[in-house]
Structure 1
Amino acid sequence: MSTPDENTKSRCPRCGELSAPGARFCEQCGFELRGQAVEGDEATGAPPTEPIPVVTVVDPDPDSSVTPPPPRLSARDHFTEKPSDWVAGVCDRGVRHARNEDAMALAAAGPGSANGTAALVVCDGVSSAPNSDVASLEAARVARDALVTFEPVGSLPVRGKIERRVAEWTQAMVAASRAAGAAVVRTGDEIARGASSSGRRSTPAIDPPACTFAAAVVDSGLVVAGWLGDSRVYWLPDDGVAEQLSVDDSWAQEMMAAGFSREQAEHSPQSHAITRWLGRSAPDHDAHCAAMLPEVPGWVLVCSDGLWNYCSEAEHVADLVHRLSGGTTDPSETAAALVLWANAAGGRDNITVALARVEPGRGEREGTDAEPADAEPAA
């Protein structure tokens, strides 16, 4: 039985997914591919087993046996960020992967969402592409910095305070995703040049690093989301209808658009194949965007598929967050609880959870056409 190298593809014996050349782990289920037969090898006579199902409703069985995670190797495997009391996140390698290719970068200013601003960015590195762990972290940090430092140029020709802010933050989100995409390309080029100068073998032209992008800005209660790929942004109110603000750029989403149910689409062997991403091979790096103005308290959640693999629909995610939070409004405690839950559910992928606690103030619920008293009229 032959083993995969940088120029051969391997088919996962657990779920049947065909992985890219040189992949160490299956992108679909996280199974280690080293030592497995390559595609076309007659030694693998048994048909592939069914893919691991997506759990969308129930919590994991606390009495079930859970494979312990591999030993932690570096701070990159598990890290937390808490830039303020109302914004925090946890990024974790999960149970089955050898490295953490997820990344996040958070920033916040102000005492709370009613009078503050926050940026939450999550990037999920594509496992089949080498060095995606490096690229995803750089992309997340570059995008966060772009959102934090963004300053609109001039006035936009739209009526109303809220409409203008939405337009400005949408512009900022697209600029941030473009900057993140450029960072992924630049990181891949720098790694390739380093490998070439040292004489090491590299395949950057075949498999350049790539990652997804999901981000949310909270500006005095206004929420603007941006995304490429299948990392997600949710709005989870304490009372009311939860929403998935992002729309996956994925094969599963294409199936749902064609009339398949969510369950059918997310059980598909190709469900996690993404149709847009950040990286050299991407057609563009312009994020899709959506905005909303919450009227009740709740959570903005930005996460990778390591979480929503086990709880996908917005209403189920909201129920999960409300149960695990235990009534606390501390985002760091809730994020940590969600990561532990996902690992207990199987941890078959890296897991990133970033949360912002939104507490709308009186000013955010006033009419959208009123200009602030000290503002200059729009041009």
Structure 2
Amino acid sequence: MADRIPAVLRQKNFRNFWTAQTVSYMGDQVTSIVLPLIAVMALDASAADMGMLVTLQQLPLLLFSLHAGAWVDRRGRRRATMIAANLASAAAVATVPLAYFTDALTLLHLYVVSFVIGTLAVVFSVAVPGLFASLVPREQYLSATSLSRASYSFSFVAGPSVGGVIVQILSAPFALLLDVFSFLVAAVMLRTVSVEETKKEETESQRGIREALRFLGRSAVLRAKILSGTALNFFYTVYSTLLILFAARDLGLSAGLVGAVISVGAVGALIGSAITGKVSARLGLGPTYLIGCLIFPAALVLTPLAHGPQWIVVTMLVIGEFASALGLMLFDISGATLQQAITPDRLRSRMQGAQMAISYGVRPVGALVAGGMGTLIGVRPTLWFAVVGGLLSVLFLFWSPLRRVHDLPDEAE
């Protein structure tokens, strides 16, 4: 049994880092569904309100990712930065149940909290690659990258489902109190990590950002990865912004049932993370990425198709969430492995910031589009737009150099 455990997980420092990373990401994603559920159930939020809520949570990706990456590279002290981000997130989330129990909660309050925790999540995320490089020996790089990235991808799928189930059991305000606890646990775990961090980058902010963007522009593989990721993020945000509203109001599912349906995605994510290495070894990193990019949006076609008796609706949603999450893991882990391998150490935080600003920066746009289209043409037609758009947007990968990448590429100059 011990032989099946990746060697990197036998190292206490990496194990604690990975645990803290996983718990923190789960906290972010649980918040991402509990806040909208509170908005719908306690404040009777509309489609436009939901669009604004998600937009404000995702807007920091567009506004701050590049500058946060350059700031972290200049500052160093990535572990301390991640600890501070977790503590501040706990404090921000704690204000929501406090306001709820004192009858002072408003949509404006949720908007502010969404923006704050979105900003702190950006700071945390751009610090991860540099600390990762300080903890992991080169020979264990691939397995550690898969574990580290799988934490984010798994939380992206499992976090909302866990949040829905917790809301059903405890109610939304108490679910947020549990979320506060998760951020505190992550901060404590990071405190136990002993690491000599890589030297900070002595460079002016704007010049550092330009250097990262020039590096991205010179790499055809990274360009293809980020362009496809940007398209998928946009269309998936349109889809996910309206999913809860569609399931609860159009399909008549309870919060607990919505959470249970989406939780099946966590199973697909687990299987996807387990098989990505084997699929990549057989087919190559590039083809694995391409296959995942196609499965991820294609499976979601079952959501706008869903109608009829509740058991049929639930079955269709379950199959769609499972297959989509599996595809997400295939392309996200293989793509992150390529980026980590190609990017030089001194550019890691800036490249993470550039990738987040471009690929994730379209999320607030997607949320606004979802709110507008959901109001104008209806929720179900907007979901069709998201699913078909996601499929069509990645077809260019068939002609990109990324699909021909088989083995792990060398680090670029």
TM-score by length of 1: 0.31
* Greater helix content: 2
Higher strand share: 1
